[in-house]
Amino acid sequence: MSVYAVNKFCRTVVHDQTFRESLRTEPQAALLNAMPPLADDELQALLRGDIGWLSRHGCNNFMLHNLGRFEVLGLDLPTFAARMRAEYRVERESWKRTGEWPERDAGGAAPTTLSEG
Amino acid sequence: VPHNPHFPIIAEQDTDLGREVTYMYGQVADRMQACAADSVVFFTSDHYNIFFDTCVPIFSIGVADSTRGPSDYPDLPKYDLRLDPVLARHLQSQVVAAHFDVGMSQEFAVDHTVISPLHFLTPGLTVPVVPIFVSGFMRPLPTAQRCFEFGRALRRAIEEFPGDRRVAVVASGSISLEIGGPRIFEDHHTGVPDPQWLDRVVDLLAEGEFGKLVAHATDSQLARAGNAGGEILDWITMLGMTDPAPPEYLDVQPRFGHAFAAWSPTDGGRR
């Protein structure tokens, strides 16, 4: 697990249209060509779109969200967000109980297809 | 000001949000235009587009003749942006002499954090810009105190500039925002993890209490504010260039975790 390779992979998704297209048509081949090389467990997690596992192992959540934004590896933003919530369900409930995080929703103001930053 | 990449499109829509965005940016833009600035010093935190784990300056100044963007949203219109390399190089040399070890970037494309606000503030993007990058995402972040002092040094450097420039200063960033992390909303891929922090920041801005804001903006507080919580450092650097006073205009969009504010020169703008 290198983390850096995954974060760099996510950055390449944002900036390299050719790589994005190859990722959509031949995901395994594209992942095998990623530089620096991905570790096998990273590659398998990416193929599964398992952003929860990648987040748990220290990959950058902001960088990971780009996989949903660019709709690669079976993800889109709602799917990405649902998997992130599911991965951290226990913590989210704990944060709500303790008042550490006063969760509320976006109030319908921000369409789910949009991305801020 | 904030920098939601889709606000330029949303502002053109006949919706409550579109009208709200147009109004809030308009309030700031009116004051920008009243300044009749020759150049804009623009603080932002690059979103891993120019800088990445390979190379991360804490502060950097863009000294190119021009740039283009946004680099990170291929579906959005691209703009060419004139820069002010003469002022940029002066600022870099002056602040380095003042013991701020600031890097420089000579070839780069800017992301939505620059283009989206300028779309509203300088229509046509005709005013040359000096982009100054504050590392707000990749820890360790600079301290709020360091950013504030950096702003002070930049103000002195502008006041000492031998040429003739009227300079406006813009900071681009949110106050509490989580993007893609565990603390996102139930119905969106972003969240506002610390609305109390947003309220406190807005109150301190309203009171012109810049020193208290700096004191409260600890690293742990910024982490609680979300994975984009470091963007307040852009505001704080800008406040270092500003006379402590309540803003002429201040407004907030709580559901986005960000605010709009504007200060006009207290001396009419000496340069």
Q: What is the pLDDT of residues B228-248, one digit of tens each?
A: 999 999 999 999 999 999 999
Chain A residues whose beta carbon lies within 8 Å of the beta carbon of residue B195: 102, 104
Report the distance separating Cα B176 and Cα A117, nearest Å: 11
Flag residues of chain A having pLDDT under 70. Answer: 102-117
Contact at CB, A55 and B74, closer than 8 angstroms: no
Contact at CB, A116 and B6, closer than 8 angstroms: yes
Residue B253 confidence (pLDDT) above 70? yes
- Find the helix packing angle between B232-239 and B144-159, rounded to 10°: 40
Contact at CB, B256 and A95, closer than 8 angstroms: no
In Å, what is the CA distance from B116 to each residue of B119, B171, B174?
Answer: 5, 12, 13
Q: What percent of chain B has pLDDT over 90?
A: 93
Nearest to B182 among A15, A88, A106 (CB): A88
Report the distance separating Cα B130 and Cα B185, nearest Å: 35
Asked if B156 is an interface residue toward chain A (Cβ–Cβ < 8 A), one would say no
Which residue in the block uniquely carries the two structure tokens 């947003």?
B198
ipTM at complex level:
0.94
Gap from B99 CA to chain A (nearest CA, Å): 31
Supply the DSSP string of A10-43, one letter for each residue. Answer: HHHHHH-HHHHHHHHH-HHHHHHT-SSPPPHHHH
Interface of B with A in 86-115 (CB under 8 A): 112-113
Count H helices, E strands: chain B? 9, 11
Residue B4 confidence (pLDDT) above 90? yes
Give the chain A residue nearest B72 (alpha carbons): A14
Contact at CB, A17 and B74, closer than 8 angstroms: yes
Which tens digit of pLDDT belongs to each residue from B5-46?
A: 999 999 999 999 999 999 999 999 999 999 999 999 999 999
Contact at CB, A103 and B195, closer than 8 angstroms: no
The reported pLDDT for the residue numbered B24 is 98
Nearest to B195 among A78, A95, A102 (CB): A102
Residues 6+ apart with CB under 8 A from A90: none
Which one of B188, B192, B253 makes the best mutation probe of the A interface by having the most chain A beta carbons within 10 Å? B188
Residue type present at position B158: I
Residues 6+ apart with CB under 8 A from A5: A34, A36, A37, A38, A39, A42
Q: pLDDT-derived band of residue B163, with 50, 70 and 90 as boundaries?
A: confident
The reported pLDDT for the residue numbered B247 is 97
The pTM of the whole model exceeds 0.90: yes
Contact at CB, B193 and A101, closer than 8 angstroms: yes
Asked if B187 is an interface residue toward chain A (Cβ–Cβ < 8 A), one would say yes
The reported pLDDT for the residue numbered A112 is 39
